Structure formats: structure tokens, C-alpha cells
Amino acid sequence: MNEFLGDGHALLVLLIAGFLPNEVWRMLGLWLGGGVNEGSELLVWVRAVATAILAGVIAQILVQPPGALASVPDWLRYAAVAAGFAAFIVTRRSTLAGVICGELGMLAGKWWLG
């Protein structure tokens, strides 16, 4: 069982340094943003900026893939993104469906290429 979970110290560091600080900010944001109007001009602008940043990061990963993703052919990366986007649209903007479909497309393509 220890081999499956890894080193206990590494898991403790991950919990203390990764999870807990993030949760503090998430709870603070939930508490402070509870009464904010979602249709306000400021939040519409913030959502647009966040979407633009995310689109830029995805485009950079597609064009200049890091690490093991660089071994995947360009056409397969683009096809997986297109399949994920199509699933996102067909399922009425379900992010989960888009991600799962894109990942399955990437896995199937890598399996097919051998």
C-alpha cells in the first residue's frame, strides 16, 4: 500500500503547501463574493480577462507543447481540442464533457499510433 501512495512525507508536504493555502483563499473568496451581482460590469470584465488568459495558455500549449506532450503529433493535439470543443458545444457548454472527450481523443490517438 505504501508503494501505491508514495512517501508519507511527500503527501504531507503536498497537503500543507498545496492544498491548505489554496483552500483558505477559496473560502475567503466565497465569503467575500457571496453577495456580488454576477451581472455587474466589473465581473463581466473579470470573466472576459480570465477567459482570454485561459485561451492564451491553451493556444501556447497547443503550438509549443511542453514535456511529453511534445511527442504527440500536431494533428492529434488539434483533433483532440476540436473533439473536446465539439463535445462542449453539443452538451450545452459542459466543461466536463469537453475535457473528457478531448482526453479520450488524445488517448485513443496515442494508442492508435502505438
Instruction: Summarize pLDDT for 60-69 with one digit per residue, the tens.
Output: 999 999 998 8
Residue whose grid cell is 491548505 = 20
Question: CB-based contacts of 98: which residues, under 8 Å, 6+ apart?
Answer: 84, 85, 87, 88, 91
Q: Which of 32-36, 37-41, 61-65, 96-100 has the lowest mean pLDDT?
A: 32-36
SS (H, E, C) 4-58: HHCCHHHHHHHHHHHHHHHHHHHHHHHHHCCCCCCCCHHHHHHHHHHHHHHHHHH
Domain ranges of the chain: 1-35
CA 11 to chain centre: 22
